[in-house]
Amino acid sequence: MLNERVLPLIATIVVFVLLYGYGIYEYKGFRDTLVFTNLLTDNAFLIVTAVGMSFVIISGGIDLSVGSMIAFIGVLLAYLISGLGIHPVFAAVIALCVATFFGTMMGVIIAYFDIQPFIVTLAGLFLFRGLAYLINLDSVPIDHSFLVTLAEIYVPLPGRGGLTFIAMAMIVLLVIGMVVAKRTRFGLNVYAIGGDKQSASLLGVPVNRTLVKIYALSGFYSGAAGIVFAIYTGSGYPLAAVGVELDAIAAVVIGGTLLTGGVGFVVGAFLGALIQGIIQTLIIFDGTLNSWWTKVAIGVLLLLFILMQKGIVHFTKRYTEKSVKPEPEAVPVTKAA
């Protein structure tokens, strides 16, 4: 029998294969590797965001601030490079430190003040968007020879496709997230907290410290997504990435992670984000459908995956109750007269 924890991920893989297979069957241009590599580049910032969001949702939390963080870090990066003349490498390090700091602060408030993640990160959503507007009200172009050099990095693949610097950076961050989730004590603690916070505490898991690290990691990944998005667009814009937090949550859930926490895979978030990209690409190839059909399809998929997860949890609970039979009551033995 398949482990019920793996079934949502298998369903995600099946949906991904079916959608991509339909594109190959229906459209000749879909067979070129250029389509797939473009998916990696165009959705790189969303995938990076979803990796950080995976840790938050696996722990049973939520982070609504990631979209605003992307915009804030993008504007900050553009200001550091174009406004202050700082080299892009140092500017990126500063931006990542700032994003990690704010993520850590939200984690401290959530863990030690026992405030719901929804409320804290909702406050972060408004705060970071406001900070982006304080830096600049308009789009800030990023013009530096080093970034031009990065944009020219291209690893060709069979066909017309190839990996850009943005795609390769995304893959590196994805692999790091997968290793941290499954091969480190911190990753195991994240799953334990998502499964049952009280039981994890009784087993010796440092719950509060782990929660702080989770939101610091989410801040780091959303900051990295902001840098990727700024390089991709060549500018920083305060209104960028509006609603990306919802797209990232959808990618994580479609990728097989339970919203209740304790179950999920980082690679599932990668597939969930690519599924969104494939749907949009199919609509572009069709040419007759409105782009808003992407949102409709994602909404339907999200609902189906949530219902599937609910069904799996319900079936597992009933199966466990049936398999654990109560022990027969002991019959008292009386001595014969």
The residue that leads in pLDDT, 252 or 322, is 252
Query: 3-state SS of the chain?
Result: CCCCCCHHHHHHHHHHHHHHHHHHHHCHHHHCHHHHHHHHHHCHHHHHHHHHHHHHHHCCCCCCCHHHHHHHHHHHHHHHHHHCCCCHHHHHHHHHHHHHHHHHHHHHHHHHCCCCHHHHHHHHHHHHHHHHHHHCCCCEECCCHHHHHHHCCEEECCCCCEEEHHHHHHHHHHHHHHHHHHHCHHHHHHHHHHHCHHHHHHCCCCHHHHHHHHHHHHHHHHHHHHHHHHHHHCEECCCCCCCHHHHHHHHHHHCCCCCCCCCCCHHHHHHHHHHHHHHHHHHHHHCCCCCCHHHHHHHHHHHHHHHHHHHHHHHHHHHHHHHCCCCCCCCCCCCCC
Q: How many residues does the chain have?
A: 337
Are the beta carbons of 216 and 103 closer than 8 angstroms? yes
Residue pLDDT, tens place only, 189-241:
999 999 999 999 999 999 999 999 999 999 999 999 999 999 999 999 999 99
Task: State how far the Cα of 218 lies from the Cα of 230, in Å rounded to an integer.
Answer: 18
Compute the distance between CA of residue 208 and CA of residue 214 in angstroms, rounded to an integer.
10
- Taking alpha carbons only, the member of 322, 141, 138 closest to residue 231 is 141
The pLDDT tens digits of the residues spanning 80-96 come to 999 899 999 999 999 99
Res. 296: pLDDT tops 90: no
Stretch 39-65: mean pLDDT:
96
The whole-number pLDDT of residue 80 equals 95
Q: Which residues contact 298 (CB under 8 A, 6 or more apart)?
A: 247, 250, 254, 276, 279
Q: Across residues 57-62, what is the average pLDDT? A: 96
| Residue-level pLDDT at 212 | 97
For residues 252-279, average pLDDT: 92
Instruction: For 306-325, write each residue's pLDDT tens digit.
Output: 887 777 666 666 665 565 55
In sequence order, what are the beta bridge partners of 140? Answer: 236
Instruction: List the chain domain ranges.
Output: 7-317
Sorting pLDDT into bands at 50, 70 and 90, what band is 114?
very high
Residue 98 phi, psi dihedral angles, 5° rounding: -65, -45
Is residue 207 packed enough to be buried (19+ CB in 10 Å), middle (13-18) or exposed (0-12)? middle
What's the rounded mean pLDDT across residues 15-20?
92
Is the pLDDT at 269 greater than 50? The verdict is yes
Instruction: Kindly indicate the confidence band of residue 337, based on its pLDDT and cuts at 50, 70 and 90.
Output: very low
CATH architecture group of domain 7-317: Orthogonal Bundle (1.10)
Does residue 147 surpass a pLDDT of 70?
Answer: yes
Query: Sign of the C-alpha dihedral, residues 217, 219, 225, 230?
Result: negative
Q: How confident is the model at residue 22 (pLDDT cuts 50, 70, 90)?
A: very high
Residue among 260, 263, 306, 269 nearest 60 (CA): 260
Q: Does the pLDDT value for residue 175 go beyond 90? A: yes
The pLDDT assigned to 159 comes to 84
Q: Which amino acid is at 245?
A: E
